[in-house]
């Protein structure tokens, strides 16, 4: 019997956290190990990345750690950015987009924006639209004391703000990052625009609230929601539709920050096994033929990279059946990180051709 | 200005876990410290308590540890119980009730019952109704693989089974333990029967999903739900209505079992500060006058203890204003337990008169 395999093309993970320092050294090379060739890097370091010098320096550091990976870089949206700086960074091709965090919703988001008032950033959005930069949005409303916004409905409550942004900037490419709810999927489908997309993580295709309840290792923001939401995300991810593509939101934390009785760090680390995790889900749905759209064609098209020769000439990721792929219990060097589904078996592995 | 104080009567906590061994030695005396005189003790030891010998021995042990506390004892409902044994235990006054756990929903519930089929226990329920025993129900449907029951709706999905039980045994006293949802409160109010009540914990009057998300110390089963549910629970608890009374579900775990990246123990430990926690909430609602109903008159009436001379002659718990009551960071001996709201300030303290 011939080996079952799929050419996934030039694979992209359009939402990756590789952090800084020792963690960055440990984690950056695992992007390639997980079957990813092009990685869009999140800027929520401490302090956040808001200057050309820092984004250039960070990218060079990542390239030194993993020369085969293509790093797409981003700024962190806050008041330190000016339209002039954004235009210059775009012209220099230092960044592909800007990440927008509502203040207070997730790891290192305290310098983020007030999602009730995007208008002060409208001059920046205008430049972004002109310069073909992507706006990456963490789409959650922050909770208000004694209010009704919780981790469960924070994304749903944010959706009208995203629709308004699209109406005000129809030519700006906007991504609702790591979407987690049926309502978000339905909004993206209703808009059906080549300028509005959603990324979907690997872990949100597997987890529901019961999986992170009592298991901080599966706790992330936005939190995994209900079974009906998971089903809708699986349907969207495996559909092949152009406005859904992969962004792992792989977010490593040292194990000691995940093993606390109070204040566990939010984030699931998936980079090392990204493509095998996804293959598992696509296989279950009988949709492995659509996996290359989700991880390659759709993100490359949305980010206008299908004509980028450097990227298009990169080796392809080949997915092949290997039923005894066991997820490591821990990824370690000086620091220890527990990967998603640690110790579990996966059916697939990756190679490059 | 005279000191603000309230005579709460003979105070009851009708749902307490004191465990076994070293934990039991550490925790049992804290029931009195928290302002509670009468404690209904849960039988989910390992193995669960299902014999007269064991319940008698357990009670004697608790009395030795805390001579001023009145312990009301219970059996654990499973197939080891027979109607004859239950009748004998009731005649001997060894137990006041029987606790029913759906298998698999919480700590040490693996020997519990299938909530889709209570009928095999109907002969026991018949005896319980005749002997004035109380049925204490952990009212959650267990999840089914790939099904739609989660920690959020497990209680709501259970409610029809409870209503059916009440229809089939209208004279059996049934308590929906540690109720957590607006739907449960509304069902209890709709039934409006002297034979159906709900206990409410202290922590569910303070917590919502966002408080346990990432904070295993606040993780318990049933989990704290949404702000609307919390508001409805506060309204019920402070209403003075006879079918709502206090059951702390205080459930201590060693700190190391709460500080794990996987499989954190479910349970919030509140015994040491029960009454001050409650007073805080009742004060905020301007309902301190109803606190004695919630912790004394309502539970004593439901359990038919208002004519029990031994109990009614016990000292009263006096609540008094003391704004600098600081919750300990940790309760410890050989084992360490983190109390609810560790390190926070409370406005009230208790004494006995």
pLDDT digits (tens, 9 = 90+) for B63-118: 999 999 999 999 999 999 999 999 999 999 999 999 999 887 777 777 788 877 89
CB within 8 Å of A127: residues ≥ 6 apart:
A83, A86, A87, A90, A133
**B150 vs A219, A227, A255: nearest CB:** A227
Give the pLDDT mean for A296-308. Answer: 98
Q: What is this structure's pTM?
A: 0.96
Enumerate the H helices of B69-181 as residue ranges: 83-91, 122-130, 154-168
Choice among A105-109, A172-176, A264-268, B186-190 with the minimum mean pLDDT: A105-109
pLDDT tens profile B191-233? 999 999 999 999 999 999 999 999 999 999 999 999 999 999 9
DSSP letter, residue B294: I
Q: Which residues of B touch A255 (CB under 8 A)?
A: 261
Confidence of residue B1 (pLDDT cuts 50, 70, 90): very low
B214 at the A interface (CB within 8 A)? yes
What is the predicted ipTM? 0.95
B146 at the A interface (CB within 8 A)? yes
Q: Which residues of B touch A212 (CB under 8 A)?
A: 213
Give the pLDDT mean for B27-44. Answer: 98
- pLDDT for the residue B315: 98
Residue B350 has pLDDT above 50, yes or no: yes
Please identify which residue in the block is written with the tokens 């230092």. Answer: A94
Q: Is residue B325 a contact partner of residue B351, using CB atoms and an 8 Å limit?
A: no
Interface test with A, best of B143, B214, B253 (most A CBs within 10 A): B214
**A150 vs B147, B210, B219: nearest CB:** B210
Reported as type and span, the H/E element at residue B246 is strand B244-246
Our measurement of the distance from residue B160's CA atom to the centroid of its chain's CA atoms, rounded to an integer in Å, reads 21
pLDDT > 70 in chain B, percent: 99
A104 at the B interface (CB within 8 A)? no
Q: Which domains does chain B have, with CATH numbers?
A: 5-352 (3.20.20.140)
Confidence of residue B2 (pLDDT cuts 50, 70, 90): low
Angle, helix B52-65 to helix B83-91, in steps of 10 degrees: 40
Interface test with A, best of B261, B335, B343 (most A CBs within 10 A): B261
B144 at the A interface (CB within 8 A)? no
Q: B180 vs chain A: nearest CA distance in angstroms? A: 16
Give the pLDDT mean for A189-207. Answer: 98
Q: Which residues of A touch B262 (CB under 8 A)?
A: 215-217
Looking only at the bridges linking them, the beta strands covering A345-352 and B5-7 are: unpaired
User: Do A209 and B151 lie within an 8 Å CB cutoff?
Assistant: yes
- pLDDT for the residue A348: 97
Distances, alpha carbon B39 to alpha carbons B44, B181, B278, B294, in Å: 15, 24, 16, 14
Q: Which two tokens stand for residue A314?
A: 């990169």
pLDDT tens profile A80-102? 999 999 999 999 999 999 999 98
- pLDDT for the residue B10: 98
- pLDDT for the residue A280: 97
Confidence of residue A110 (pLDDT cuts 50, 70, 90): confident
Give the pLDDT mean for A260-270. Answer: 97
Residue B135: phi, psi to the nearest 5?
-100, 115
């Amino acid at each position: 019997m011939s080996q079952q395999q799929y050419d996934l093309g030039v694979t992209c993970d359009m939402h990756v956290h590789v952090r800084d320092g020792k963690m960055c050294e440990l984690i950056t090379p695992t992007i390639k190990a997980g079957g990813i060739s092009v990685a869009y890097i999140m800027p929520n370091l401490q302090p956040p990345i808001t200057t050309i010098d820092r984004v250039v320096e960070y990218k060079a550091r990542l390239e030194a750690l993993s020369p085969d990976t293509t790093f797409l870089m981003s700024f962190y949206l806050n008041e330190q950015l000016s339209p002039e700086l954004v235009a210059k960074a775009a012209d220099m091709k230092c960044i592909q987009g800007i990440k927008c965090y509502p203040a207070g919703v997730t790891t290192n988001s305290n310098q983020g924006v007030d999602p009730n008032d995007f208008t002060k950033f409208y001059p920046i959005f205008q430049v972004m639209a002109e310069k073909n930069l992507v706006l990456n949005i963490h789409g959650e409303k922050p909770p208000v004391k004694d209010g009704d916004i919780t981790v469960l409905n924070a994304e749903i409550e944010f959706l009208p703000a995203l629709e308004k942004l699209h109406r005000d900037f129809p030519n700006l490419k906007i991504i609702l990052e790591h979407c987690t709810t049926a309502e978000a999927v339905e909004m993206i489908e209703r808009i059906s625009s080549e300028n509005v997309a959603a990324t979907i993580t690997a872990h949100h295709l597997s987890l529901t609230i019961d999986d992170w309840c009592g298991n901080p290792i599966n706790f992330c923001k936005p939190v995994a929601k209900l079974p009906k939401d998971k089903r809708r995300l699986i349907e969207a991810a495996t559909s092949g539709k152009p406005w859904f593509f992969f962004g792992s939101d792989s977010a490593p934390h040292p194990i000691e920050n995940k093993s606390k009785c109070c204040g566990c760090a939010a984030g699931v680390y998936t980079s090392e096994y990204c493509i095998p995790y996804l293959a598992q889900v696509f296989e279950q749905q009988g949709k492995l033929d659509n996996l290359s759209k989700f991880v390659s064609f759709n993100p490359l098209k949305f980010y206008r990279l299908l004509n980028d020769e450097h990227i298009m000439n990169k080796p392809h990721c080949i997915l092949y059946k290997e039923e005894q792929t066991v997820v490591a219990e821990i990824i370690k060097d000086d620091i220890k990180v527990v990967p998603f589904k640690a110790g579990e078996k996966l059916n697939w592995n990756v190679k490059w051709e």
